[in-house]
Amino acid sequence: MNAKALIPLFGGFLLSFSTSAANAQSLGDPVVSITFGAGSSTHSGALPADSGTTSYTYSNADFPQDGSYTIENSTAGSGSVWWSATDHTGNTGGYMMVVNASVSKTDYFYKRTVKGLCSNTKYQFSAWIVNLLRSNDISPPNITFSIEKTDGTVIESNNTNTIPRTSGNYQWIQKAFNFTVPAGVSDIVIKMTNNSAGGAPANDLAIDDITFSPYGPDISASFSSTGSSITASDCADVPQTYTLSTGIPAGYSVLWQSRIGNGAWSDLPGAAGSSSTYKITSPTAAGTYYYRVVTAQSGNINSAYCRSASNVLTLTVGSAPVATATVNTPVCAGTTLSFSASAGVSYKWTGPNGFTSALQSPAITPVTTVATGTYYVTIKASSGCEVTTQVNVTVNAQPVAVADVVEPICEGSSVTLHAGGGSTYLWSPAKGLSDVNIANPVASPADTTLYTVTVSNGTCTSTATVQVNVLKKPIANAGPDRYITQGQSTTLNGSTEGTNVSYYWTPADNLSSTLELKPTATPTEDITYTLHVVSNEGCGDEATDEVFVRVYKKVTVPNTFTPNGDGVNDTWNIEALDTYPTSTTQVFNRYGTLVYKSTGYPKAWDGTINGQNIPGGTYYYVIDLKNGKVMSGWVMVAR
């Protein structure tokens, strides 16, 4: 019979109940269990007194002689006659008893006395044997197991018959039989002899894991609740009561036992007697719990050597998740509400306004005030346990920030800003504001500025903006002064600054236009032009700037003059050269000798040098007007 139920408990542990199949007959815990131990050495030494006796001689050789035995963990050093075998138990360095049969069949290779058994009780003997011989041509082992009274009277005898060689490698074979202890007997002797004589070589074997256990009537255990199989699911932190159930053979008593993990079996309180049921309360600590019922004839129930055991029931208590949930509350409407739950394998969130989620860390964005309330999350652990926890959420309303539009202001003026919708205010940038922490600061920005006000109602904030447009005052720039030669023209390079301005030039004399910033000027005399700039917004006074246009006269150089004192053409009269006060004039003779020099030409040259007349002839001049123009040529002095 198999039964299993999983019980997940709210906030606690998972209980898993299972049963193994019932036995035709039931074995108890071994009265004798001989594994020959384990160790790091190949040989362990002679058979310990508490493990039995032998008429064979102990040998620590890997291949003992006839009539000898050894206790070792491997026959690898025995040569090619035996298989290279290791112990049956499977422990690291586990030992086994290796026997090289005696020539005499009457010698016993193992004997042990067992005391404290129960009369009229059935037991099962078991041992694991391996034929060590590789060849079929050699006499194989043949063993007799004898259960005797201490006076030598045989209670039960069992022959293994030939233990055959296995093909390809050695193989451990279990041999078992049942016997009943006679009335009035409590001590017995187990004896093993070889039926085949040893020799060169023959009848060689290894034996391990010798046990015998009480072997009682069929008894099975199961979990039941009010007479039915457990199929409900609960959690252990809400203690549940379950019933262990069994059948009781006539003339027998039962005792319920439990075990935690790999621990020892212990009797349950008040569990001995003739009742076929026993109630337990589900444990609250995580772990694996085992239950069974043992039975013996009514007078022997308290003797461990007399009891057979049922199948083992398994109850697994799985750890529940440590349930924690967090949320970034309080939050403001319009932002993100973020949840987080502790680790699990699945999640189920529920909350106000129909909220559900299967995520570990869900979020609501943008969140509104209707999300305020209590949220629940059920966390399921890998064990199947579930636990529920909750978080409370507050979503605060956002303030409605208001900032009134303002009219443009002239540069250097101010305006009062107006904000509303909250209890506190913070303006930015601070430049140009009288106070950043009031609703209505005075703004005096130097340039057009976008101001942001953050409005708070104590928990949440919102923002609004207002732009203060600054109308710039007019600025005039008539450009750099101009220099032209009479008859030439120049372009004035005027520019303006300011918001929505008008401009014009004065005087209009010789200008291509008075309403252009870059008109063409063709004056005949030196003149100063003025650029006028006016704000159409009424911001500031009219701005003006001047540009001077210098008009150089055309210089005419005569190539002859007659300094003879007749009062006619006695000097070198260079027309308009006196209007170039920084100009230089130089005259050279044909040999390159400087004969005349002047700056600005304040007085016309009279043809002398140092008060002496120069000879008539042709001379050469260089006139630098210092305006980027150099004139050169010849002049005739005629006398």
> 114-147: b or e for each residue (b if 16 or more CB lie within 10 Å)?
beebbeebebbbbbbbbbbbbeeebbbbbbbbbb
Taking the C-alpha atoms of residue 382 and residue 370, their distance in angstroms, rounded to an integer, is 34
Phi first, then psi, for residue 299 (nearest 5°) are: -80, -5
Predicted model pTM: 0.55
- Model pLDDT for residues 328-342, shown as the tens digit of each residue: 989 999 999 999 999
Taking the C-alpha atoms of residue 381 and residue 322, their distance in angstroms, rounded to an integer, is 9
pLDDT value for 237: 62
Least confident of 16-20, 257-261, 418-422: 16-20
Taking the C-alpha atoms of residue 175 and residue 400, their distance in angstroms, rounded to an integer, is 92
pLDDT value for 200: 60
Taking the C-alpha atoms of residue 70 and residue 36, their distance in angstroms, rounded to an integer, is 11
pLDDT value for 6: 26
Q: Give the Å distances, CA to CA, from 131 to 43, 86, 161.
A: 20, 12, 12
Least confident of 217-231, 292-306, 357-371: 217-231
pLDDT value for 99: 92
Please, which pLDDT band fits residue 425 given cuts at 50, 70 and 90? very high
Residues in the chain: 639
- CA 552: distance to chain centroid? 85
- Model pLDDT for residues 195-247, shown as the tens digit of each residue: 876 666 677 899 999 998 999 998 888 887 544 343 334 566 666 777 888 88
What's the first-to-final CA gap in the chain, in angstroms?
Answer: 159
Please, which pLDDT band fits residue 137 given cuts at 50, 70 and 90? low
Could you tell me what percent of the chain has a pLDDT over 90? Answer: 66
Please, which pLDDT band fits residue 552 given cuts at 50, 70 and 90? confident
Task: Give the number of other CB atoms < 10 A from CB of residue 400.
Answer: 12
Q: Give the Å distances, CA to CA, from 437 to 260, 423, 441, 446.
A: 70, 11, 8, 21
Taking the C-alpha atoms of residue 166 and residue 354, their distance in angstroms, rounded to an integer, is 72
- Model pLDDT for residues 481-538, shown as the tens digit of each residue: 999 988 999 999 999 999 999 999 999 999 999 999 999 999 999 999 999 999 999 9
Q: Which residues contact 582 (CB under 8 A, 6 or more apart)?
A: 599, 600, 626
Which one-letter amino acid corresponds to residue 349? W
- Model pLDDT for residues 164-206, shown as the tens digit of each residue: 888 788 999 999 999 999 999 999 999 999 887 666 667 789 9
pLDDT value for 519: 98
Taking the C-alpha atoms of residue 246 and residue 22, their distance in angstroms, rounded to an integer, is 11
Taking the C-alpha atoms of residue 81 and residue 464, their distance in angstroms, rounded to an integer, is 101
pLDDT value for 225: 56
pLDDT value for 66: 86
State the average pLDDT over residues 568-578.
93
Nearest to 217 by CA among 122, 300, 286, 77: 122
- CA 483: distance to chain centroid? 77
Helix (H, G, I), strand (E, B) or coil at 170: coil
List residues bridging with 162 in a β-sheet: 142
Least confident of 52-61, 435-444, 459-468, 557-566: 52-61
- Model pLDDT for residues 586-624, shown as the tens digit of each residue: 999 999 999 999 998 999 999 999 989 999 999 999 999
Least confident of 308-317, 348-357, 531-540: 308-317
State the average pLDDT over residues 56-64.
91
Average pLDDT, the chain: 89
Structure tokens at 239: 């203690």
pLDDT beyond 80 at 411: yes
Strands in 116-220 per DSSP E: 122-131, 142-148, 154-162, 173-180, 188-194, 204-216
Please, which pLDDT band fits residue 10 given cuts at 50, 70 and 90? very low
pLDDT value for 199: 61
